[in-house]
Structure 1
Amino acid sequence: MASYEYNESNQRVLFGEDSLSKLPSELSKLGCTKPLILTTPSKASYVDDVAKLLSGQIAGSFTRVTMHTPKEVTEEALKHLTSVGADCFVSIGGGSAVGLGKALFVRTGLPHICIPTTYAGSEMTPIVGQTENRVKVTHVDRKAIPAVVIYDVKLTLTLPTNISATSGLNAMAHAGMWTSTT
């Protein structure tokens, strides 16, 4: 599989086997030294992998990422981000981790690096969602697209078949939402 890089005016996309190894240099390019790692409880083992890759130089982790980005989870993550003195955040996982990263970016403006582990593609859309009082509200914010997206194909090789199928269908839905105005 050929590796490649895609550069949009405000976004870099890295794709390839072992592309996760480029995380330290991507953080350096952004001037970041204390990332907060965002992920779900089921992907918490990735925190150790990322910390090892960064020689332990992380501000901390937030592993209470939840589907549909509940406002109270975002507020909890924001407090944690502030308390550990993070200067950026790295979301690793599926759409839930990506969504929390976007919500935190909207509130802080700190750089966001996204490492997807599914195929859904929400990291490439300008849509920001938030759930409050059991109602999910979305809006478009072009600036909420992560500064860097790192697609490492190795992170998807153990994806369960049902998650592969549903996230692939979700990717088609995200592609169908693209218009020249988004």
Structure 2
Amino acid sequence: MNRTSFSLPGGVYNAVPPRIVFGAGSLAQVLDEVEHTGARRALVLSTPGRGFLAERVAGLLGERCVGILRDAVSQVPIEIAVAAREKAQAMGADCLVSVGGGASIGLGKGIALGLPLPIVAIPTTYSGSEMTGFCGITIDGVKRMHTSLDMLASAVIYDPELTATLPADVGAASALNALAHCVDAIYVPTVSPMMALAAIDGARVLLDALPRVAADPTDLAARSDLLYGAMLGGAALTGGFALQHGLAHTLGGSFGISHGLAHALVLPHVAAYNARFAADRLAPLIASIPGGNLGRAIFDTMVATGLPTSLAAVGFDRGDIDRAAAITVETDNGLNPAPITRDAVRAILEDAFAGRRP
């Protein structure tokens, strides 16, 4: 980005929630945040597996809670979003409290897209989606991006204690997702200079905290750092996204790879590809990495956290590479610094399938 001449889109781009509460034990403030929206009938959203946490939130809300929906699933299928929207309307909900990972946050957005209600988001993973007005919704087997200020949360509560029960592999994949937000945002032309700085700092924090949490999952200070880096990554994501996200959404929406792993498995290879075309914008981050190789540093971090490093290891069929490349090119948003061609995407997928170290 030319620092002396730039033009930024308005609307949902670079817009973040107006209220953020961060710190251990901050879940206790959920009633205050709901009341700040003026709501009196909050609907709590979660996945089936996070129902216990939804019940805890409902207990904190007391009479302000109108019910719990445990319908959230990964990749936000449009059918589930529409059905949940109808349920929320029938229950007379005037506020949504999304608690959990990207699936729960996404369901809240899917409801709000057609039924504008204030959202209080309580993330328990590092997806970063809670900070944005973007949502990937899967329609007819293809995950497509939707944007609306109606999907931007009114408040976000970050409580690192809620991440303590994350399985190690899920947490690591989610944190790599946050790192993907940072890396992708650094070089898109729609990102504001402020969000670009957040992306650089977020990437540094995440690369430092990830191995610390992997080494000692009980280290609350390291978990706080990881969540802080994820928050910065979510903020940076509001500036826009490019090939990294398009490719991960294809792998998740069309091939069923979990969201965090989809990001993690292609991130080293997309970073290595784009670094050749956006060296100036990535320079501040690369300068902080021993050896100065971003793709390799990300790959080595994956190894250190025990994540799989190849698409083959998670069951992706090599025969699907051409189709995945075609879908990614078809849904490209034009913001990537490097050319998005079938050959380029196919080469990235070949490296990711084999698990080659950049």
Q: 3-state DSSP class of the match of 1:54?
A: helix
Question: For the aligned residues, what is the CA RMSD?
Answer: 1.6
**Structure 2 residue identity aligned to 1:119:** Y
What does residue 67 of structure 1 align with? Answer: 74
Contact 2:132-2:153 at 8 Å conserved across structures: no
- Give matches, 1:24-103, under 5 Å: 24-103=31-110
1-side partners of 2:90 and 2:148: how far apart?
26
Question: TM-score when scaled to structure 2?
Answer: 0.47
Bigger shift: 76-85 or 51-60?
A: 51-60
Q: Secondary structure at the match of 2:165?
A: coil
**Given residue 54 of structure 1, which amino acid in structure 2 is its aligned partner?**
L
Aligned position for 2:295: none
Q: Which has the higher helix share?
A: 2
Q: Look up the match of 1:115.
A: 122
Deviations 1:10-31 (A, max 9, x none): 5211100110111111111110
Total equivalences in the alignment: 175
Paired with 2:140 and 2:109, the residues of 1 have a C-alpha distance of: 20
Instruction: Report how far residue 33 of structure 1 moved.
Output: 1.1
Structure number having the greater strand percentage: 1
Per-residue deviation at 1:177?
3.4
Aligned-partner Cα distance in 1 for 2:144–2:59: 37
SS of aligned partner of 1:68: coil
Match of 1:134 in 2: 141
**Secondary structure of residue in 1 paired with 2:112:** helix
Quote the Cα distance in structure 2 between the aligned partners of 1:146 and 1:97: 13
Give 1:135 shift.
1.1
User: Could you tell me whether the CA contact under 8 Å between 1:122 and 1:174 is conserved in 2?
Assistant: no
CA 27–138 in structure 1, closer or farther in 2 if over 3 Å, else same: same
Structure 2 distance, partners of 1:9, 1:154, is 23
SS at match of 1:138: strand
Unaligned runs of 5+ in 1: 1-7
Counting aligned pairs with the same residue, the percent is 38
Give the distance between the partners of 1:54 and 1:37, measured in 2 at CA.
Answer: 9
Deviation of the 1:111 alpha carbon:
0.1
Q: State the 4+ residue runs in structure 1 displaced beyond 6 angstroms.
A: none
- Provide Cα deviations, 1:102-153, integer angstroms capped at 9, x if missing partner: 1222212110010000012111233211111111111333452211000111
Residue 75 of structure 1 and its aligned partner are, at CA, apart by 1.0
Q: Aligned residue for 1:153?
A: 160
**TM-score for the superposition, normalised by structure 1:** 0.90
